[in-house]
Amino acid sequence: MALLELDGLTKRYGGITAVNGVGMRVEAGEVRAVIGPNGAGKTSLFHLITGVVVATSGEVRFDGRSLSGMSSYQRCQAGLSRTFQLTSLFPEMSARENCRVAAQARLGRRWQPWGGAGVFREASARGDEALERLGLTEIAGRPAGLLSHGDQRLLEVAMALAQRPRVLLLDEPTQGLSVEETLTAVETLAGLLADGTLTVLLVEHDMEVVFRLAQKITVMHRGTVIADDIPSVVKQDAAVQAAYLGGYA
Amino acid sequence: MRGLIIAVIVLAAAPLGLPPFAMTLLTEALILGLLAMSLDLMVGYTRLISFGHAAAYGLGAYTCGDLLLHTTLPLPFAVLAAALASGVIAIGVAWTCTLAKGVSFSMLTLAFAQLLYAVAFKWTAVTGASDGLAGIPRRAGPFGLTVFQTKNGYYYLVLACLLGAYAFCRSLVQSPFGAVLRGIRENEPKTLSLGYNTRLYKIAVVAISFALGGLSGALYSPFAGFANTDLLFWLFSGQVLIMVIVGGKGTLIGPILGAAFFMLLEHVLSLYTESWALFFGLIFIGFVTFAPDGIWGLMRRRARV
């Protein structure tokens, strides 16, 4: 059984169908990228999976359990952690505090209105571990709002990672980065994914990034899936070529 | 920390050195300080801007007044019960107000306070309508304790409540719960997406803020001996917000200083001019423009230099 399954997922806004009957299976330990031209419905799909937007029809199943009716924070509690296309951090907190608050969300006594040394210790340990895995230990003490854009993108991944998610959803992790920053970020992410313990669903624009990181690729066009396979097959697919890749391969 | 201990000692020794009229002013300043501090939990720590905090004060004041007038509950118990009632009612208020965000949230808090204001004018049996509640006694007890009936005894009761509330708030904002509030303040959508039910946290902080604001109101009505609709008026809500901002939001101590500053200035300026509010307005503009950290921010900057 796949860890994350989408079944006939559809979202209509009035007369516009943003996502049209999308089905997908993400196995545990798999790194899957969703690609497609602008307006293909990638980010809408992300919103449907994370519960930011309610589906018109269809279903998301996580570990065999339907997520229908669950709000975004409940889905996160269930083990789906995400990053945003536009960087979203706590700008006045240090990078370390950002990760600590993220990790705290998955601890049993996260709401405790007094003391909390134990909660903070455990959350800090998880946060610091995530920072280290993304090579951010050196800048951990700096306010997140003052970090370089590249470090901010990675910090957001670290925050999601600090939650020890079962599925990590990354919405364009290299969005807005310079060529050099993209290279660094991709190598850092590749290192992170190398041991195969993380299950990742990735929306990305940059084909270099996709082919470097993903084991499986789902191609979307106008709300529907037009290809779903391993990278080498997707590259050769005629429909994909026509819709999107435009002779990249 | 050392400054805090000195402040507590000075406040505890105040009745030895100050004339009775000054003690009356000081008691009222501490009561208002407690109110402003309670609002700071929402405004300074969660960025929930309430334009209706007079509602908490009025709820506490009327509830405590009614309990003292119509039951035999001793004063300290009546005060605590009124604070609790205010907090419980706030759960419903917060449930409604948190359906909205930003300015709409602020407008809903204002609307709710105005609703209570209107109710207070009509519900004669409970609020005495435009006459208000008069002759609220400081009933003795428990165990025949009469210390709170004296001016200075009552001052110590107020001081103890303020210090207790301060310790409680300090612990709250430093706890895991407080860390989530800070997350909501800086980026609520992110906090939600990290798996926190942010609305529940907001409802909780409003309820706590109202309970402490209610405590402040509950201390006021037996102190003044009366409660009237002025306590629920929107202008008063605005004044409390000004106390928080002038004192220094998000610091707990700042709003207490802001309340004292407001009272002192009102007292002194009104000796010279009837339009004292105009001058206070100018001072407020000055703070917002040149010292957004407020009085407490200025004092801390000074201490660091």
Burial of A19: CB neighbours in 10 Å, binned 0-12, 13-18, 19+: buried
Interface of B with A in 193-252 (CB under 8 A): 193-198, 201, 204
Give the integer Cα–Cα distance in Å for A145 and A88. Answer: 10
Query: Any residues with CB less than 8 A from the CB of B21 and at least 6 apart, and which?
Result: none
**Chain A interface, mutation test: which of B182, B185, B193, most A Cβ atoms within 10 Å?**
B193
Contact at 8 Å (CB) between A112 and B175? yes
ipTM of the complex: 0.89
Kindly state the percentage of chain B with pLDDT values over 90. Answer: 62
Q: Of the candidates A84, A90, A111, which has its C-beta nearest B176's C-beta?
A: A111
pLDDT of res. A249 = 44
Nearest residue on chain B to A115, alpha-carbon basis: B175
Contacts of B183 in chain A (CB under 8 A): 90, 101
Contact at 8 Å (CB) between B109 and B238? no
What is the DSSP-derived secondary structure letter of residue B231? G
Q: How confident is the model at residue B305 (pLDDT cuts 50, 70, 90)?
A: low
* Average of per-residue pLDDT across B265-283: 85
pTM, two decimal places: 0.91
Interface contact B190-A106, CB threshold 8 A = no
**Chain A interface, mutation test: which of B194, B199, B249, most A Cβ atoms within 10 Å?**
B194
* Average of per-residue pLDDT across A138-165: 94
Contacts of B212 in chain A (CB under 8 A): none
- Tell me the residue ranges of DSSP E strands in B89-234: none
Q: Is the pLDDT of residue B145 over 80?
A: no
Interface contact B176-A120, CB threshold 8 A = yes
Alpha carbon B266 to chain centroid distance?
Answer: 18
Q: Is the pLDDT of residue B210 over 80?
A: yes
Interface contact A111-B198, CB threshold 8 A = no
pLDDT of res. A248 = 53
Q: Where are the alpha helices (DSSP H) in chain A?
A: 42-50, 72-78, 95-104, 117-133, 149-162, 179-193, 207-213, 231-236, 238-240
Put simply, whether B186 touches A (Cβ < 8 Å) is: yes
Q: Tokens at residue B272, please?
A: 């010279």
Q: How confident is the model at residue B276 (pLDDT cuts 50, 70, 90)?
A: confident
Strand, coil or helix: B107:
helix
pLDDT of res. A246 = 60
Put simply, whether A112 touches B (Cβ < 8 Å) is: yes
Q: Is the pLDDT of residue A245 over 70?
A: no
- Using alpha carbons, select from B93, B66, B45 the residue that is nearest to residue B211: B93
**How does strand A216-221 pair with strand A31-35?**
parallel
Q: Tokens at residue A195, please?
A: 């041991």
- Within 13 Å, how many C-alpha atoms sit on residue A228's CB side? 9
Q: Of the candidates B175, B193, B204, which has its C-beta nearest A72's C-beta?
A: B193
Choice among A175-184, B105-114, B188-197 with the minimum mean pLDDT: A175-184
Interface contact B193-A116, CB threshold 8 A = no
Give the integer Cα–Cα distance in Å for A182 and A210. Answer: 12
* Average of per-residue pLDDT across A92-111: 92
Q: Of the candidates B175, B192, B197, which has its C-beta nearest A116's C-beta?
A: B175
Contacts of A114 in chain B (CB under 8 A): 171-172, 175
Kindly state the percentage of chain B with pLDDT values over 70. Answer: 100
Give the integer Cα–Cα distance in Å for B96 and B114. Answer: 15
Q: Is the pLDDT of residue A157 over 50?
A: yes
pLDDT of res. A177 = 87
pLDDT of res. A228 = 86
Digit-coded pLDDT (tens) for A39-63:
888 889 999 999 989 999 999 999 9
Contact at 8 Å (CB) between B217 and B98? no
Put simply, whether A234 touches B (Cβ < 8 Å) is: no
**How does strand A57-62 pair with strand A31-35?**
unpaired
| Phi, psi of A167, rounded to the nearest 5 degrees | -130, 130
Q: Is the pLDDT of residue B115 over 80?
A: yes
- Using alpha carbons, select from B130, B198, B24, B219 the residue that is nearest to residue A105: B198
pLDDT of res. B116 = 93
Q: Of the candidates B176, B197, B201, which has its C-beta nearest A104's C-beta?
A: B176
Q: How confident is the model at residue B124 (pLDDT cuts 50, 70, 90)?
A: confident
Digit-coded pLDDT (tens) for B215-258:
999 999 999 988 888 898 899 999 999 999 999 999 999 999 99
Mean pLDDT value across chain B: 91
Digit-coded pLDDT (tens) for B70-93:
988 889 999 999 999 999 999 999
Q: What single letter denotes the amino acid at residue A157?
A: V
